[in-house]
């Protein structure tokens, strides 16, 4: 019990939780640190799951966030395969599903998120089928890969990052791929119509049967009700399939926080230093929601860089230091030979500018609000992406007519930034 009086318990062993645990030790936490995860694997990178790991070009070892020896050297105790049932803030205890519990002096929540499920009325019995999958964990991908046979028919529900990344891997592996997107374009929540249309063309040219504005209405199962054999669309069409993968977004895991009485609003509410409504509890990663000084509104981000930065802020806060997280959020997606890197949030833009050549698969898309650049998408332009992070993060306003001039190096335009 004596160790519990100075123990830091971190719930969630993903990017945010692992970084938080290690950073807390480096920042000077002297007590016990326990990193609790509900998976049995060492903490690992999630982004490659729908890309290189699914394709078989990345090994499990290459995905590890930290080697076991690194965690041991930092004095981080990894508690694997344990699911937390409840947090008792009054007694400062974390209860597990098996009835055991551990105490804490400080608590960190890095519970991440889970795939947004199809409504039960639509998914029905398909959820229990052997060939119906969501994609979030190593185990999910390992199960999906068993169905990756040339000629197999895969129906992918959702045309966001996950759906399109899986489609790119699957069609390259020789599967017959159909993507069903309910919205009027792919990537509708994160990018402009011109960028969406570019990706739609790329996927169709690669052999993907991309169907836009198509609602899934249900699924057909075999007589044993163990396999999905078809997808029913709202327009009456039935698509035969051998595999179904659903990627329609993420739901933040806030149930523990809410049940413990912490402030929750589509995410665990935190301040600029990753502190929750309880001074003994911090939170970081996809499960959090905060007031963004950069955008002047409350946001929840699904971004590895954001998770890492929040984790460092949270670790500092545990030691009584203030280290606000404030960088512009950025994201990336690999599809075929395309490296899409995005910085900022484009919602609310009133001007869209394109720099470079869509036809040559090398361009940058700028989103402006007034004259200020609030977001940038880059495709196969790594140098411009690095500059874009600075432009968005420093709230620069650049002359629109100069932004679209691909003959002028973007770096040379920074001197022309207008005061904001």
The model's pLDDT over 315-337, given as tens digits with 9 standing for 90+, comes to 999 999 999 998 899 999 999 99
Does residue 96 register a pLDDT over 90?
yes
Query: pLDDT averaged over the chain?
Result: 96
The residue to which tokens 């971190």 are assigned: 10
pLDDT in tens, 64-80: 999 999 999 999 999 99
- Quickly name the fold that domain 120-248 has: FAD/NAD(P)-binding domain (3.50.50)
State the pLDDT confidence band at 414, using cuts at 50, 70 and 90.
confident
Domain boundaries, the chain: 2-114+251-318, 120-248, 337-416
State the pLDDT confidence band at 1, using cuts at 50, 70 and 90.
very low
Residues 403 and 417 sit within 8 Å (Cβ to Cβ): no
DSSP H helical ranges for 147-230: 161-172, 193-206
pLDDT at 413: 85
Using only C-alpha atoms, what is the Rg of the chain? 23
pLDDT in tens, 212-268: 999 999 999 999 999 999 999 999 999 999 999 999 999 999 999 999 999 999 999
Query: How much of the chain, in percent, has pLDDT values that exceed 70?
Result: 98
Domains 120-248 and 337-416 share a fold: no
The residue to which tokens 């609003």 are assigned: 265
CA torsion, ordered 386, 391, 394, 396, to nearest 10 deg: 170
Over residues 161-174, the mean pLDDT reads: 98
d(CA 146, CA 242): 12
pLDDT at 415: 79
> What residues contact 98, with CB distance under 8 A and at least 6 apart?
82
pLDDT at 111: 99
pLDDT at 59: 94
Architecture of the domain spanning 2-114+251-318: 3-Layer(bba) Sandwich (3.50)
Q: Determine how many CB atoms are found less than 10 A away from the CB of residue 164.
A: 28
Q: Which two tokens mark 28?
A: 């000077």
pLDDT at 326: 87
Over residues 97-119, the mean pLDDT reads: 98
DSSP H helical ranges for 190-250: 193-206
Q: Is CATH 3.40.50.2300 the right assignment for the domain spanning 337-416?
A: no
The residue among 129, 133, 132, 37 whose CA lies nearest residue 82 is 37
pLDDT at 2: 45
Cα–Cα separations (whole angstroms), residue 121 to 60, 218, 223? 36, 8, 20
Over residues 349-354, the mean pLDDT reads: 96
d(CA 340, CA 364): 10
Does residue 104 register a pLDDT over 70?
yes
Indicate the DSSP class of residue 150.
T
Does residue 29 register a pLDDT over 50?
yes
């Amino acid at each position: 019990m004596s160790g519990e009086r100075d123990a830091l318990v971190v719930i969630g062993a993903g990017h945010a939780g692992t970084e938080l645990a290690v950073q807390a030790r480096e920042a000077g936490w002297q007590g016990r640190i326990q990193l609790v995860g509900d998976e049995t694997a060492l903490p690992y990178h999630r982004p490659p799951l729908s890309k290189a790991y699914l394709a078989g070009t990345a090994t499990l070892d290459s995905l590890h966030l930290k080697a076991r020896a690194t965690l041991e050297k930092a004095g981080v105790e990894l508690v694997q395969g344990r699911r937390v049932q409840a947090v008792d803030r009054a007694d400062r205890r974390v209860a597990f599903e098996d009835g055991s519990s551990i105490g804490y002096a400080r608590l960190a929540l890095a519970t991440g998120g889970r795939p947004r499920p199809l409504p039960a009325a639509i998914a029905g019995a398909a959820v229990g089928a052997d060939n119906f999958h969501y994609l979030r964990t190593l185990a999910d991908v390992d199960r999906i890969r068993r169905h990756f046979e040339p000629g197999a028919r895969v129906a992918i529900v959702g045309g966001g990052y996950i759906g399109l990344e899986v489609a790119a891997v699957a069609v390259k592996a020789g599967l017959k791929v159909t993507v069903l997107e309910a919205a009027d374009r792919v990537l509708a929540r994160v990018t402009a119509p011109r960028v969406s249309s570019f990706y739609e063309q790329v996927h169709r040219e690669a052999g993907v049967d991309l169907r836009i504005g198509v609602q899934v209405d249900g699924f057909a199962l075999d007589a044993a009700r163990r396999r999905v054999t078809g997808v029913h669309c709202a327009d009456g069409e039935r698509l035969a399939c051998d595999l179904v993968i659903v990627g329609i977004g993420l739901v933040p895991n806030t149930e523990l926080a809410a049940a413990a009485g912490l402030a929750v609003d589509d995410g665990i509410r935190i301040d600029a230093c990753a502190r929750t409504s309880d001074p003994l509890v911090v939170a970081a990663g996809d499960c959090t929601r905060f007031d963004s000084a950069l955008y002047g509104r409350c946001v929840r981000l699904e971004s590895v860089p954001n998770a890492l930065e929040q984790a460092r802020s949270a670790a500092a806060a545990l030691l009584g230091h203030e280290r606000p997280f404030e960088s512009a959020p950025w994201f990336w997606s690999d599809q075929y030979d395309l490296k899409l890197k995005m910085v900022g949030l484009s919602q609310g833009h009133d001007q869209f500018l394109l720099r470079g050549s869509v036809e040559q698969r090398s361009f940058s898309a700028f989103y402006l609000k007034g004259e200020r650049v609030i977001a940038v998408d880059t495709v196969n332009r790594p140098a411009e992406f690095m500059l874009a992070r600075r432009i968005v993060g420093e709230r620069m306003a650049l002359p629109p007519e100069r932004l679209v001039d691909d003959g002028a190096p973007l770096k040379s335009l920074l001197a022309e930034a207008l005061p904001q």
